[in-house]
Amino acid sequence: MPSNSTKILLLITLVSGMLVSVSSNSWIGAWMGLEVNLMSFIPLMSNIKNMYNTEASLKYFIVQVLASATLLFMVVMKTVTEDLFTLTNVGTPYTPMIVCTPLLLKSGAAPFHWWFPGVMEGLSWENCGLLMTIQSAAPMMLMSYLIEANPFMLSIILASTVVGAIGGLNQTSMRKILTYSSINHTGWMLMALITGDNMWVMYFMTYSVLVLTVLSVIKLSSMSFINQTMMANSEAKLMKFMMFTSLLSLGGLPPFLGFLPKWFIIQAMTMNKLMPMATMMVITSLITLYYYLKITYSSFMILATEPKWSSQSHKNKTTKNISAMILSSISLTGATLCTIIASTN
């Protein structure tokens, strides 16, 4: 396991790799940034004391290297018909498809999502958070140069939302559930890219805050499987409540922050004449809300037990508790505050 200073160094190179690839003006630069980003994430994942970490980092490495190599190859192929390595598309019909495919594999969109659950299962919560948010930013930003509402992209988006909804149904592991939710949000973010870049930035920021909230609550209550929500002592009542609201927020239920980006995207889709698509995506999000409710239902209702005494002291968790509380109150009231602020000027 890397020491703290190594971790700081790797986090800095990870973020700068992402920034290099987002701000580069040629495909070669973009590829280079992605590579730096990957090479700093791999050592962050590894932990010699835990064999699942090793397995996850190996799987992640193989898949991402496959994607990078394919991207490099596709970019070189692109030079046959178009200007050398420029980001813009001069209208060759298949270029968006061939260049986007490796990027879709990198960000874990639906038909290319198979590596995602396996990798997430072996990671610490912090790394799960990195994988779900920052690691998918650069590929998405690169896709924004080429993306358009063609049948290829629309079917990828639909597949992502359907896989996200169906895949999470029978899962008992929180990591798996978050993975499928991330696959689903990748689909929504691709749709956000189609309707405009700043729409995507807004979605991505909100999604990152929500993931951070859910992860901080889960980590605080060290809950890896959903049956662990039922065993809770009285200090954990607030925790259960935060868990409940932040998951529903991630699922996009109206009064919470998660609804805000969803609302914007649905509106943008109706303005871009993508109504059938919007209908199908909203239906898949209903399935999702069912299993988010399922997680929290048992922890609040008949199956919940509560010991009268506890041998553990929970006093030392106060500071972490405070950050989880701040984050979950943002996810609880964010959408309301945003709409109030927006409607007063």
Ligand X SMILES: *[C@@H]1O[C@H](CO)[C@@H](O)[C@H](O)[C@H]1NC(C)=O
Q: Which residues bind ligand X (CB under 6 A)?
A: 164-165, 168, 180-181, 184-185, 188, 250-252, 258, 262, 285, 288-289
> Cβ distance 81 to 98 under 8 Å?
no
Q: Closest approach of Cβ 203 to ligand X, in Å?
A: 8
Task: Using the minimum distance from each CB to ligand X, give the nearer residue, 31 or 180.
Answer: 180
Task: Using the minimum distance from each CB to ligand X, give the nearer residue, 15 or 278.
Answer: 278
CA 155 to chain centroid: 19
Beta carbons within 8 Å of 155's beta carbon, 6+ residues apart = none
| Rounded CA separation 231/307 (Å) | 9
Q: Closest approach of Cβ 192 to ligand X, in Å?
A: 10
Could you tell me the two tokens for 153? 């992209």
Task: Using the minimum distance from each CB to ligand X, give the nearer residue, 60 or 180.
Answer: 180
| Rounded CA separation 194/301 (Å) | 42
> Cβ distance 281 to 195 under 8 Å?
no
Q: Closest approach of Cβ 126 to ligand X, in Å?
A: 20
Collapse the DSSP code of 258 into the 3-class scheme (helix H, G, I; strand E, B; otherwise coil) and give the result. coil
Task: Using the minimum distance from each CB to ligand X, give the nearer residue, 27 or 180.
Answer: 180
> Cβ-closest residue to ligand X?
252
| Rounded CA separation 158/191 (Å) | 10
Collapse the DSSP code of 28 into the 3-class scheme (helix H, G, I; strand E, B; otherwise coil) and give the result. helix
Task: Using the minimum distance from each CB to ligand X, give the nearer residue, 45 or 242.
Answer: 242
For tokens 């005494």, what's the residue? 309
Q: Closest approach of Cβ 124 to ligand X, in Å?
A: 21
Task: Using the minimum distance from each CB to ligand X, give the nearer residue, 57 or 181.
Answer: 181
Q: Closest approach of Cβ 165 to ligand X, in Å?
A: 5
Q: Closest approach of Cβ 45 to ligand X, in Å?
A: 24
Q: Closest approach of Cβ 258 to ligand X, in Å?
A: 6
Q: Closest approach of Cβ 248 to ligand X, in Å?
A: 9
Task: Using the minimum distance from each CB to ligand X, give the nearer residue, 75 or 165.
Answer: 165
Task: Using the minimum distance from each CB to ligand X, give the nearer residue, 25 or 267.
Answer: 267
Backbone angles phi, psi at 189, to 5 degrees: -70, -35
What are the Cα distances from residue 48, in Å, to 124, 218, 219? 13, 24, 21
| Rounded CA separation 289/228 (Å) | 20
> Cβ distance 200 to 322 under 8 Å?
no
- In DSSP terms, 225 is beta-bridged to 173
**DSSP per position, 267-332:** HHHHHTT-HHHHHHHHHHHHHHHHHHHHHHHHHHSTT-B--S--SS--GGGHHHHHHHHHHHHHHH
Task: Using the minimum distance from each CB to ligand X, give the nearer residue, 104 or 266.
Answer: 266
Q: Closest approach of Cβ 309 to ligand X, in Å?
A: 37
